[in-house]
């Protein structure tokens, strides 16, 4: 199993970090988790094309995590030689969100169907909404979902991928909670969106300080990793984002490592994690 952090950004635009998106490659499948800003650009570097995603999983419907779903829907459709559905799995509310996205795309869909004689179908999507339990299963790969705590954003879910003797937890935005612990139990790799409390509290801007309410800070991510005996803690979606490879980035890792004895990595875009059983 291979995990690639396609995009490690947050809502704040950053020249080096695309929006949140993580690709899990296993058993010949490409499972995408969230689809933030620039996801198809980063996937092209792997390379995985717009039709290459087996399933798109969403953790929640905050714009930074789903802003390029419309791009995936459009390009999966417009580059396919035959009608084939895009499979999307997400929390309750995903079906309505996808319907509204398709409504937004209606003009473009009309332009392309009118222009291309061999494109005589509209985008097809298959949406599954999940709360907990098995979210998707095929070819020896099992993806489990659990509710997470990103209130007032609700409902939100995280995922646990079990395949080829390895376990990966992809948390999304969440505070520590029981659902997150179940996702992370004995996981080889735990990918957590994080914020740095001291850096945020240094800027008394209410709208920035608010993000502390519903994200894991570094100590909380480390606590979740320790409590659940994970192998490697991967920090992503850092707020505020430190420059890659900087002393500041090293401080983030050191702060998390103070509460977790395993490996800690502050991920960059397109960083590859190879897991063997």
Active site residues: 64
| Exposure on the CB side of residue 258, measured as CA atoms within 13 A | 9
| CA–CA distance, 135 with 120 (Å, rounded to integer) | 32
Q: Which is nearer to Zn ion, 54 or 192 (CB)?
A: 192
CA 92 to chain centre: 17
- Give the nearest distance from C-beta 97 to Zn ion in angstroms: 14
64 binds Zn ion (CB under 5 A): yes
- Phi, psi of 137, rounded to the nearest 5 degrees: -155, 135
- Give the nearest distance from C-beta 14 to Zn ion in angstroms: 13
37 binds Zn ion (CB under 5 A): no
Out of 42, 62, 160, 196, the residue judged to bind Zn ion by CB under 5 A = 62
Q: Which is nearer to Zn ion, 149 or 173 (CB)?
A: 173
Q: Which is nearer to Zn ion, 42 or 62 (CB)?
A: 62
Given a contact cutoff of 8 angstroms between Cβ atoms, the answer to whether 233 and 264 are in contact is: yes
Given a contact cutoff of 8 angstroms between Cβ atoms, the answer to whether 232 and 272 are in contact is: no
14 binds Zn ion (CB under 5 A): no
Taking CB under 5 A as the rule, which mask of x and - marks residues 178-217 in contact with Zn ion? ----------------------------------------
173 binds Zn ion (CB under 5 A): yes
Binding segment for Zn ion (CB under 5 A), chosen from 58-66, 133-141, 158-166, 259-267, is 58-66
Taking CB under 5 A as the rule, which mask of x and - marks residues 212-241 in contact with Zn ion? ------------------------------
- Give the nearest distance from C-beta 153 to Zn ion in angstroms: 6
- Phi, psi of 166, rounded to the nearest 5 degrees: -125, 160
| CA–CA distance, 112 with 119 (Å, rounded to integer) | 7
Burial 86-118 (b: 16+ CB within 10 A, else e): bbbbbbeebeebbeebeeebeeebeebeeeeee
The residues of the shown chain that bind Zn ion, judged by CB under 5 A, are 62, 64, 173
């Amino acid at each position: 199993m291979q995990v690639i952090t396609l995009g490690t950004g947050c809502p704040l635009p950053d020249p080096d970090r695309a929006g949140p998106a993580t690709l899990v490659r296993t058993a010949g499948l490409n499972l995408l988790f969230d689809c933030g800003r620039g996801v198809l650009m980063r996937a092209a570097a792997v390379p995985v094309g717009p039709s290459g995603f087996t399933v798109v999983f969403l953790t929640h419907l905050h714009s930074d995590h789903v802003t390029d779903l419309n791009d995936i829907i459009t390009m999966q459709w417009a580059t396919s030689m035959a009608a084939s559905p895009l499979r999307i799995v997400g929390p309750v509310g995903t079906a309505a969100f996808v319907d509204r996205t398709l409504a937004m795309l209606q003009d473009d869909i009309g332009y392309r169907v009118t222009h291309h004689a061999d494109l005589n179908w509209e985008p097809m999507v298959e949406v599954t909404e999940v709360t907990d339990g098995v979210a998707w299963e095929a070819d020896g790969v099992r993806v489990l979902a659990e509710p997470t705590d990103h209130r007032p954003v609700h409902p939100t879910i995280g995922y646990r991928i079990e395949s080829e003797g390895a376990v990966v937890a992809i948390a999304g935005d969440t505070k520590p909670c029981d659902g997150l612990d179940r996702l992370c139990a004995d996981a080889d790799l735990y990918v957590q969106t994080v914020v740095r409390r001291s850096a945020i509290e240094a800027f008394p801007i209410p709208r920035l300080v608010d993000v502390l309410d519903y994200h894991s800070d570094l100590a909380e991510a480390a606590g979740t990793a320790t409590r659940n005996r994970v192998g490697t803690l991967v920090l992503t979606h850092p707020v505020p984002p430190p420059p890659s490879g900087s002393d500041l980035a090293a401080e983030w890792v050191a702060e998390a490592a103070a509460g977790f004895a395993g490996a800690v990595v502050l991920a960059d875009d397109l960083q590859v994690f190879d897991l063997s059983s």
